[in-house]
Chain A
Amino acid sequence: MKRLLAVTLGILTAIGGFVDIGDLVASSLVGARFGFSLVWVLILGVIGICVYAEMAGRVAAVAGRPTFDLVRERLGPRMALVNLAGSLLVTLLTLAAELAGVALAIELITSVAYLLWIPAVGLVVWLVIWRTRFETMERVFGLAGLALIVFVVAVFHLSPDWGGVLERVTHPDVPGGEGMPTYFYYGIALFASAMTPYEVFFFSSGGIEERWGRKDLITARMNVFIGFPLGGLLALAIMAAAALVLHPAGIAVDYLSQVTLPVAVSLGKIGLGLALLGVFAATFGAALETALSSGYTVAQYFGWTWGKTAAPRTASRFHAVIIVALIAGMMLMLTGVDPIKVTEYSLVFAAVALPLTYLPILVVANDPEYMGDSVNGRLANVMGGTYLIVVLIAAIAAIPLMLITKAGL
């Protein structure tokens, strides 16, 4: 149990990356529209985030430096400002969508319109950041988010023809009626959300909040190699459940309620209840992650005192950024804009932020002046270099694909 509790930071981080509101719907949508033909992208994304989260965690543990510090040190104030703008927009748009996501989950349970819940959700998110211990926060929302494992159970309960599934995963083809650009657009969207930059900002800053040192390298690695694959598994299960139930029935996913539909079909009311709990915890956890990330990035760019663990009055600018981010997110959502669309458009800004975030991590993880003898090994460098190229290609391709496909229509 203690071992499991030690990896809740990784689980919470991964939940924010893989099963936040945008991904809940996107994974389900991809499963419903493309069946199993985009599973390989998800696996590619899980490996990529593991590679870079491991580096970022190692730098945090050994050199004590959070990721956005490195971004500014290595890229200089000008390029880092470009990255800050890109990352902050991704993070803020995601935060706004998560606030609506939590409200939507409550709407599913209470049948009271989600817009009415948004101010209350924003307030509770702020209260958790303001008063709850960091550890309590990551444990409660990390573990509650694991209720989404019910999707894994549902997939097994549907007892698909595993040989056929494997065949379709390993030999992906674009389903009839879908264009190649649309297929790649959703592929890039899945990949970018798996490797979204606020995950490494949150993960490395969280490690420093937990006072990781060189002796915690194992904890850092366990967080990465258990937390992120677990998050990926949840996203995979959601996609598979949709592929098994919704794809054959020709149901397209537009709403959160349709995401939980396969579980209800497979496991009935108890399953649905657990799925709703999981959705609530995952979106709430993602809201916490993105709200804190916006504070971390701004504070680390400017070199301000930051940290959730200290009294707020000693890090007042950091807390002010979080409050402003929450208010901005609430106001954006109260205009009635579709939260799912918001996370889709944030992809444009992720394209700018991704390479500018991962390049400095790779460079610093190789630098003995920061890392001593804990510099990257050959495997980390080969993987890191390869993924940097993949990220670059995805970043360059993202915007034209979005325009061609009108964001996947």
Chain B
Amino acid sequence: MSPAQAAEPTRRTAGRGYSARFHLLDRQVVDPDGKPVCNVDDLDLAHDEHGRLCVTAILVGPAALAPRLQGLPARWLAAVTRRMSISRTEDPARLSMNHVTHIGAVLTAALPEGHDHVHALEDWMRDNVIGRLPGAGHASG
């Protein structure tokens, strides 16, 4: 391990192991400035060339959360999401795992330009409600 890595114990390096329930699911994802982006509502898996399952993306939003509630609450949330959805697809929003640089008390994701939102509801709310109120662009501090 290089000194730079030792100083950054949460950086993703080969060999580190995680418990899905403890380290990944329901953790907050933040951008490099520490601003909350989303929660890890679920993880998307795909088979690699050896047939082993690997994580490809973080799934975000009620559509991703619904199956994890189990039983009746799961079906209810899924039904509400379907009816109130403002995006065109039923699939949950995705944040590619390649953007995630650190896994610690939070997951840090270096988001590329223009990818600072992973959720349609935030955009809708900003464009149609909050952004229209006077002073919405003013940081009160």
Identify the A interface with B (CB < 8 A).
Answer: 63-65, 69, 72-73, 76-78, 80-81, 130-135, 299-300, 302-313, 316-317, 319-320, 369-370
Contacts and interface: CB of A to CB of B under 8 A. Distances in A.
Contacts of B126: 313, 316
Chain B CB within 10 A, most for which of A63, A80, A319: A319
B140 A134 contact: yes
Contact of A316 (B40, B65, B104, B122): B122
A316 B131 contact: yes
B43 interface: no
B28 interface: yes
Contacts of A313: 126, 130-131, 136-137
14 contacts: A64-B105, A69-B28, A76-B68, A81-B73, A300-B28, A303-B38, A303-B39, A303-B60, A304-B119, A305-B35, A305-B122, A310-B35, A312-B137, A316-B129
Given A133-B140, A311-B138, A317 B27 contact: no
Enumerate the 7 nearest inter-chain pairs by beta-carbon distance, A residue then B residue, closest first.
Answer: A303-B39, A316-B130, A316-B126, A316-B125, A133-B141, A313-B136, A311-B139
B62 to A, nearest CB: 8
B26 interface: yes
Interface of B: 21, 25-29, 34-41, 60, 62, 65, 68-70, 73, 104-106, 119, 121-122, 125-126, 129-131, 133, 135-141
B131 A303 contact: no
A320 B38 CA distance: 17
Contacts of A76: 21, 25-26, 68
B130 A312 contact: yes
Nearest to A306: B36
A193 to B, nearest CB: 29
A303 B138 contact: no
A309 B131 contact: no
Contact of A65 (B35, B105, B130): B105
A370 B69 contact: no
A311 B136 contact: yes
A81 B39 CA distance: 14
B36 A304 contact: yes
Contacts of B122: 304-305, 316-317
A76 B40 CA distance: 11
Contacts of A72: 26, 39
Given A69-B28, A78-B73, A303-B38, A320 B129 contact: yes
Contacts of A370: 105
A369 to B, nearest CB: 7
A73 B27 contact: yes
A316 B129 CA distance: 8
